Amino acid sequence: MARFDRLTVYNTMLETRLVPLFYHPDLDVAQQVAGALMRGGGRVLEFTNRGDFAFEVFGPLVKYCAAEHPDLIIGVGSVEDAPTAGLYLALGANFVVGPNFNEEVARLCNRRKVAYLPGCGTVTEIARAEEFGAEIVKIFPGESVGGPDFVKAVRGPRPWTRIMPTGGVTPDEDNLRAWFRAGAACVGMGSNLVRKDWVDAGDFGAIEDLMRTTLHRIASIWSG
């Protein structure tokens, strides 16, 4: 069962404006990464369902963070169907993210009052997802569907749409500024934040530092 209600999840995403995402098959490494992101100021974490038996890492990670980092909101990403979503909800996922929109996943999450952020690539897909209750839609892959210009174009006639681009988002100030100036509500960031070379080297301090720096840049952009 989710420890955080849907409104808390959405509001936290909109407050921090950054949703880090990563996957690693080793539980100890996943715990280290989660801790680094939390110490760097992160409050939300998306663990992606990308590897074999990823759920076997996810469950213990949720329990670990509940004990060691109780304020960290953990959800699951790369979910394409309701059975997969149900599995992760049973393991404590606080939100569900998908590369696509799936009506059955939307119904399941609404039934359980869990935030669902589906991936969309067109205005029609975005509108359909919103009809099923999506408060924040993920555009994926963000850079390939049109980048910041796509966000700006959608938000022109649809200012109520909250968009989280994932794919093509980097910690660089110019990149972040482009997305947020275009109207992104928050951004998802994976390998550009949780860098593979740092993970392989066990340099979790570097991840923590970059997380802190990135959040500072985002805050400066919004206050400027």
Which residues form the catalytic set?
Answer: 46, 138
Q: Report the distance separating Cα 86 and Cα 73, nearest Å.
A: 18
Cβ neighbors of 87 (< 8 A, separation 6 or more) are 55
Token pair for 138: 């993920």
Q: Report the distance separating Cα 148 and Cα 167, nearest Å.
A: 11
Token pair for 104: 């059955």
One-letter amino acid of 2: A
Q: Are 14 and 44 in contact (CB under 8 A)?
A: no
Nearest to residue 126, comparing CAs of 146, 210, 45? 146
Q: What's the angle, vertex CA 60, arms to CA 59 and CA 63, rounded to 5?
A: 95
